[in-house]
């Protein structure tokens, strides 16, 4: 009894101070909410290799739902001034950092892992995309700002290469003006 109380007190103290530092921090989906700039992208997929030199930065808004799923709304400003917008509702899985969705636009299945996240700074995302018998991996560097520090770019390249992408297919995207924000859609 006394021992349990002591342990409880110790845990409480840990919560109140910083001694929980050596335990892995729990992933917090709510903190992923809001707008991210897609600063880097990497994949060996042919469509990307062909177009990578012309690709520009876009944004993705993460909106966790009450059920724990994740609404992803992306926008990229095109050269003609119009916006290319697409969105997907990604289903939660047993792993809090992993989500799955079917993309209507690409007609592929996406298995997405939020590998690392510093919520007010950057996130590294890896997605396995499958269409029929073909599959490939994409990685993304998301940032809260349009800038990515050199150290972060290096991290992203390393992460992409470890994910199986060739170094030359790891791209920091050209800066781009932003699309106007869409009014929130009631669901």
Ligand X SMILES: *[C@@H]1O[C@H](CO)[C@@H](O)[C@H](O)[C@H]1NC(C)=O
Of 78, 85, 102, 175, the one binding ligand X by CB under 6 A: 102
Q: Please identify, using beta-carbon distances, which residue of 13 and 162 lies nearer to ligand X.
A: 162
Selected range binding ligand X among 5-13, 74-82, 107-115, 179-187, rule: CB under 6 A: 107-115
Look at the block and give the residue holding tokens 């994910």: 163
Rounded to whole angstroms, the Cα distance separating 128 from 112 reads 6
End-to-end distance of the chain based on CA atoms, in angstroms? 50
Q: How far is the CB of 134 from ligand X (least distance, A)?
A: 13
Selected range binding ligand X among 31-39, 44-52, 150-158, 178-186, rule: CB under 6 A: 150-158
Q: How far is the CB of 137 from ligand X (least distance, A)?
A: 6
Q: Please identify, using beta-carbon distances, which residue of 77 and 113 lies nearer to ligand X.
A: 113
Q: Is 15 strand, coil or helix?
A: helix
DSSP 133-183: TEEEEEEEEEESSS---HHHHHHHHHHHHHTT--GGGEEEPBP-PPPPPPP
- Which residue ranges make up the site for ligand X (CB under 6 A)? 91, 100-102, 111-113, 116, 126, 128, 137, 151-152, 155
């Amino acid at each position: 009894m006394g021992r349990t109380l002591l342990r409880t007190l110790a845990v409480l103290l840990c919560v109140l101070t910083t001694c929980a530092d050596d335990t892995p921090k729990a992933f917090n989906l709510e903190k992923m909410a809001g707008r991210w700039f897609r600063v880097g992208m990497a994949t060996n997929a042919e469509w990307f290799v062909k177009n990578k030199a012309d690709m520009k930065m876009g944004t993705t808004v993460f909106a966790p739902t009450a059920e724990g799923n994740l609404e992803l709304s992306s926008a990229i400003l095109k050269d003609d001034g119009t916006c290319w917008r697409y969105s997907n509702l990604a289903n939660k899985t047993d792993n809090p950092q992993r989500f799955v969705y079917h993309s209507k636009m690409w007609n592929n299945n996406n298995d997405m892992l939020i590998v690392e996240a510093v919520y007010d700074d950057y996130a590294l995302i890896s997605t396995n995309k499958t269409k029929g018998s073909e599959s490939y991996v994409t990685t993304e560097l998301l940032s809260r700002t349009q800038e990515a520090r050199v150290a972060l770019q290096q991290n992203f390249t390393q992460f992409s290469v470890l994910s199986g992408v060739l170094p030359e297919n790891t791209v920091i995207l050209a800066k781009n003006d932003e699309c106007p924000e869409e009014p929130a859609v009631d669901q």
